Amino acid sequence: MSNIEHNMSITGDAPKSISTTQKIASAIGLTGLLILVLAIANFNFPNKSLFLSLSLGLITLGTAIFSIDAYWGKHAGIKNDGVWFKSLSGKGFWAWILGIGLTLFYVVLYWFPQYLGLNSEGANSGVIGLFDPLSKFINGGPASEWFAYGTLYTVAIWIFGFKFILKYRHNRYEIIRTCSVMFFQLGFAFLIPEILARLNKPYFAPTTIWPLNYDLFAGYRLESFISGGNLGVSMLIFGIVSIFVITPILTYKYGKRWYCSWVCGCGGLAETAGDPFRQLSDKSQKAWKIERWVIHSVLVFVTVMTIAVVYSYLGENSDRFWLTKDVFLWGSAGFLTLLFALIMIFKRDQIQKDAKYGAIGYLVVILAIIGINYFSGNWNIFFFPAYKLREWYGFLIGAAFSGVIGVGFYPIFGSRVWCRFGCPMAAILGMQQKLFSKFRITTNGGQCISCGNCSTYCEMGIDVRAYAQKGQNIVRSSCVGCGICSAVCPRGVLKLENGKTEGRINENEVLLGNDVDLLDLLNQKSQ
């Protein structure tokens, strides 16, 4: 995807050593990590509560000391010195080691949790066993691999969130946003579902919304919601309301950033632990083309899969429930067609030609699948039963893409590979943002000097400079509103804003500072 440059820059290597305090901090943090590694190697710790606390405590302490030493003693401000000289953040040796290590971890986590000590028959051992005391404390049962992972994930967002806040402490937008991400991860994504489990209620994280939460409408989940009493049903209703009401309203008002960089856990990890890698995302036009095809294909996949799964769950006649297979199927087809028609009628000017063709193609494909399967009568998508399709989605997208590639490849392709290329939720929010939102990034008249800091540090691979140097507002479906382009700009050219939707896409190519003659000329030309 990217052209790998062997020469890091035209300049050579600069000093990149770390201070003594940072060395000690690294030692403390690595000791904490070593406990986890020993646990993976099945070293049997006598007092699991103690050693788990020790491990997480040392990792936290080490990261905190390192961050404080790295940023607190310096002036508040953008500190990207030597980012491209460091092996870890400049795609060097340590980046590859970390990338491969993370990838392997995800492979084991998703497909071979037994090697981490998961035991469904008896007591857990290994690293998962180490998390048993904490799991019992919070949800009453032994740890699963997801509990151990969730704990580490939350710890990562908190400790690297702390680092992020120190690094960007001159910027209140970044501080508040990071606090929000840390809060939602701990409360909504980690504790609430675990406590619900303790209360014998369905597992539900209010912040993971369909289609990111692709299992929301799986048969077993629907059963658990329906059998979960009023609370269960209200969760299901909240899940549906989130998709069709809450999400569009918030995105209309604030852009997709309210979710992608204020609430979402995937975004949360990318923004905090992934921050040292944000500059690695590919900004070429080619990458942008690939991105648009891949992410929308995932959205189509998840839509078809969900329709199939729900369809196979529903009954044939209306005795049990008014929503029958037929009503649902034609309802879905009708809804998608209506949505498509409305966009094409009212917003066609804002869609590029290839996107139009793509959308038409995809709609035809979805409707054809629905039609073929309806008339063939057995509801098998391309001869697969619905549950098979869900398994494949879970394997390809839910596990391989979002976990293995999404996080494992942070040090190589940047922190938001999943959000950028794979997340179907981002695709939906992105369409809303591009077509209906009040959000945009405005550029400040003629002050842009095309330096390229904005583009370099855009984790979503948007060539921000291309817009800024033309004085155009930036309205891109992929923008997650992290605000870093605005922060790194040495001329104060960029600002994230919510404003009137009229004139949001400002195509004024005449920059401020040019004389009136040129303006007249352009006006004449456009008449």
Partner 1 sequence: MEHIVILGNGISGITAARHIRKRSDKKITVISAESDYFFSRTALMYVYMGHMKWDHLKPYEDWFWEKNRIDLKNGWVQQIDFSEKTLHFKNGDKLNYDKLVLATGSIPNKFGWEGEDLDGVQGLVSKQDLEILEKNTKNCKKAVIIGGGLIGVELAEMLRTRHIEVTMLVREKAFWHSVLPFEDANMISEHIKSHGVDLRTATELDKIIPDENGKVSSIITKTGEQIDCQFVGLCAGVRPNIDFLKNSDLAMNKGILVNSYLETNIPDVYAIGDCAEQQKAIGQRKPVESVWYTGRMMGETLAVTLTGKRSQYNPGNWFNSAKFFDIEYQTYGWVWPKPKENEQHFHWQHEDRTKAITINFDKKTNQFLGINTFGIRMRHEVLDRWLTENREITYVLANLKQANFDPEFYTRHEAEIFEGFKKNLQNAQTT
Residues contributing to the site for partner 1 (CB under 8 A): 5, 8-12, 14-15, 75-78, 80-86, 170-173, 176, 284-285, 444-447, 449-453, 455-456, 465-466, 469, 483, 486-487, 490-492, 495-496, 511-518, 521
Phi, psi of 498 (to 5 degrees): -115, 125
In the complex with partner 1, the residue whose CB is nearer, 8 or 54, is 8
Cβ contact 45:132 at 8 Å: no
Q: Which is nearer to partner 1, 89 or 207 (CB)?
A: 89
Nearer to partner 1, 75 or 353 (CB): 75
DSSP type of residue 276: G
Q: Which is nearer to partner 1, 45 or 96 (CB)?
A: 96
The rounded distance, in Å, linking the Cα atoms of 362 and 223 is 31
Shortest distance, position 498 Cβ to partner 1, whole Å: 9
Output 223 or 497, the one with its CB closest to partner 1. 497
Rounded CA gap, 93 and 99, in Å? 10
Smallest gap from residue 275 Cβ to partner 1 (A) = 14
Measured from the CB atom, the residue of 132 and 282 that comes closer to partner 1 is 282
DSSP code string of 396-451: IIIIIIIIIITTTTHHHH-TTHIIIII-HHHHHHHHHHHHH-SEEEEE-TT-----
Q: What single letter denotes the amino acid at residue 277?
A: F
Closest separation in Å from C-beta 170 to partner 1: 7
**Best CA proximity match to 297, nearest among 354, 387, 362, 385:** 362
Q: How far is CA 387 from CA 219, 251, 367, 464, in A?
A: 9, 32, 20, 42
Residues 6+ away with beta carbon under 8 Å from 497: 439, 440, 441, 442
Q: Residue 311 carries which DSSP code?
A: H
Q: How far is the CB of 297 from partner 1 (least distance, A)?
A: 25
Angle, helix 285-313 to helix 424-436, in steps of 10 degrees: 110
Min. distance of Cβ 349 from partner 1 in angstroms? Answer: 22
Q: How far is the CB of 250 from partner 1 (least distance, A)?
A: 16
- In angstroms, what CA-CA distances link 223 with 112, 200, 204, 318, 364? 28, 14, 13, 18, 32
Q: Which is nearer to partner 1, 240 or 449 (CB)?
A: 449
